[in-house]
Structure formats: structure tokens, C-alpha cells
Amino acid sequence: MSSLAREFAKTKLSSLPPPEPLQEEPPEYEDDSSSASSMSSTGTVRPSNTLRPAPAIHWSDYFAQEFYLEQDRKDAGHAKFHVYLTPPASSKAPLIVLHHGAGSSAMTFALAAKEIRKAMPDIGILAVEARDHGSVVWDASGQVDTDLSIAQLSQDLLDMILLTQAKMGWGELPTIVLIGHSLGGAVVTDAANRGLLGNKLMGFGVLDVVEGSAMETLGHMHTYLASRPKSFPSLPAAIEWHIRSRTLRNPQSARVSVPSLLLQTSDGRWAWRTEISSTEPYWENWFTGMSGKFLSGKGAKLLLLAGTDRLDKELMIGQMQGKFQLQVFPAAGHFLHEDLPEKTAEVVVEFVKRNDRSTLVLPPKVSDMLAQGKRV
């Protein structure tokens, strides 16, 4: 959950503007330099017929394909999942699956995904959007299903991966690396811990969220949400607000990701696509037990943080025992993958290369060498 996570793990309101300036801003932001939602994860406002999506941005500069994957669900409901894909160049190349945080979107990973592909041109990238964050799930009665529990979000993630496999006609899944930011980090951790991808999971990475700091920050969520403008006069205003409030610290990334966080209202203003406050019933569910699940999850593990102060006791012990790779970007904000996309890509690429067994070259067996008449 990008935005929630932002409040949660990283900024803890530290990246927000000074209290007084924020209080002076009216509920409707009037400055022409504002920005969209900084929360990325679960809990999106249901678009009504009075809202329409922001003008399409150039997603094709960062991904090869865009899909709306439809699924008839076992409970007689129906799902329409929104994903962006750049397929692996070969059946042996890994697929990195990216999951955003609460209130965010797949475009939060646009710049980092492009940098990853520069370093590893053969690798695949799948950026998914959670239900109510670009994807929609309906129950059997036709009502929007707003179950945002961690177990359901993990199942949605698996469904999106399998639907992509079917769409692309892959005989089997590529080797997969899961990467999630904030709430997305909790989702990929849960999926890895439950073994949803079996032996296809090479490893998983969590960006700037840990159980301890996330749970502590939940108490500040209402204050943060109350401080945000409810709408913006224009997209440039929304983008500027994100930068000025230091929600995002990279103007280029803000221009790419912010428009996808907003919907235009009937009066021409731009309102948040995701109503983070509506997800409150699930906040504790997302993060409770996350540290334990992270340490016991299947595959290699990467934790990328904006500050070491976010490590809780359980993770500190695990880190000292060498159970996961830790990388810290002290100069970044909560959206570290947007603030420092090149450095984030470097860490992810190195993590993939280190754990990709398909690239290992094993020495020949002695028996084979003897059979070939070679001396050993």
C-alpha cells in the first residue's frame, strides 16, 4: 500500500509539510501545484459515474503491454484485473512481479521497472494493481467486493499471475521474484509464506515496510489523512503537492505515477481514486505477524528500507543471523523506488542475479568425463 505504507513505515508524518502550512490549506487544494495520493496499497474508493479516470499517461514508455484480465470466480463472482507486462525474452528468463502499496498504482514502479530492464534486457516485468486500485472484483450479487484482507489480496496476486500466464500462452510459469512496496510488501510476504507459487518462487523483496514501524504508525493515520487536500484543481497541482509535501522527491517519477492516483469529478477537479480511510478495518490485518512471515517465507529475501530505525527486534535478530539481504537508502523517502529508481533497480538486479540458479554452470560429473575417455 504505497500511500498507507508511506504513512506507515517511512515518513511517519516526518515527510509531510510542517503542521501549520498543512492546516492552512483548505480541504479543496487551490494551489496549481499539488499532487495526488501518496498512499499506496489497499482500499480504493469506488469510482462513481460522476468520476472519470485521469487522461491516459504514457505507460508504453515503461511497459510493453497493458491487460485487463477477466476471471469468473469460484464464488460466482467476477474479477477484472489491471496489469502491465513486459514479457521475459525467453522461457529461462525470470519474471519480476511488482505489487504497489495502499492508495497507489502499478505506475509507481514505472521508472524502476525501466531501469531494471536496462540492466537485464531479458527479464520480464509484471506490475499488478490490487482490487479497488485499478482492478475490480464483484461478488455473486453484482456488488463490488471490498474484501481487502491480506489473505484475499495474496490470492488476487496469484490469480493475476496465473491469468497472465494463460493470456500469454506460457506452458509453465517463469521463475518468479515478488517485490512489494508497503502494503504490497505485506502481500508478497504473505504469498511467499503460504507457498502460493511453490518452487517457481526464486525470492521476494519488501520495500520500506516492517511490522513494528507499520503498527506504530497506524495511530497517526487519521491525522495524516485529515491533513491531505481532498481534491486538486489540476493534475499539475496534484503533482506539485506530492513534491512540495515530500511525499515524492523525484519530479520525473511524480509526473508518471501521480495521474493514476486521481479521478476527475463532474466539476472538473481531481479527487483521490483511493479512499484510504475506508480500508481502516484491514490495517492491523495487513501487518500483524509480518516479520515472522517474512523470516519464514519461501525463497531468498530482500528488505530495502529508507532507514534502519524501521527494523523491529525480530528482524534485527534475523538480519544478524544472515537470514535476509538488507539495503538502506537514507536519502530516500517512503517511496524509495520512486525517489531513487536507478539505485532500487541496481539492488533488485543484483538480488536476482545472485539467486538465479538457471545461470549457474555446474562442473561436469567425473563419470561423464571418464565415459568420454578424459583423464581425471
Give me the catalytic one of 145, 208, 339, 356: 208
Q: Is 133 a catalytic residue?
A: no
Give me the catalytic one of 35, 334, 337, 356: 334
Is residue 128 within 8 A of residue 157, CB to CB? The reply is yes
Long-range contacts of 47-50 (CB under 8 A, 24+ apart): 47/263, 47/273, 50/265, 50/266
Residue 27: other Cβ atoms inside 10 A: 9
Query: Distance (Å, rounded) from C-alpha 55 to C-alpha 90?
Result: 34
C-alpha cell, 241: 503537492
User: Which string of DSSP letters, residue by residue, matches 88-99?
Assistant: -SSTTS-EEEEE
Half-sphere exposure in the Cβ direction for 70 (13 Å, CA) = 2
Is residue 129 within 8 A of residue 83, CB to CB? The reply is yes
Q: Is 190 a catalytic residue?
A: no
Q: Is 220 a catalytic residue?
A: no
Query: Distance (Å, rounded) from C-alpha 88 to C-alpha 124?
Result: 4
Question: Among 178, 207, 13, 177, which residue's Cα sits nearest to residue 104?
Answer: 207
Give me the catalytic one of 35, 104, 182, 291: 182
Bridge partners of 137, per DSSP, are 79
Question: Among 21, 61, 109, 51, which residue's Cα sits nearest to residue 267?
Answer: 51
User: Which string of DSSP letters, residue by residue, matches 25-54?
Assistant: S-SB--SSS-------BS--PPP-TT-EEP
Query: Distance (Å, rounded) from C-alpha 96 to C-alpha 127?
Result: 8
User: Which string of DSSP letters, residue by residue, matches 251-264?
Assistant: HHHHHHHGGGGEEE
Is residue 197 within 8 A of residue 115, CB to CB? The reply is no
Is residue 328 within 8 A of residue 306, CB to CB? The reply is yes
Could you give the residue numbers annotated as active site? 182, 208, 334
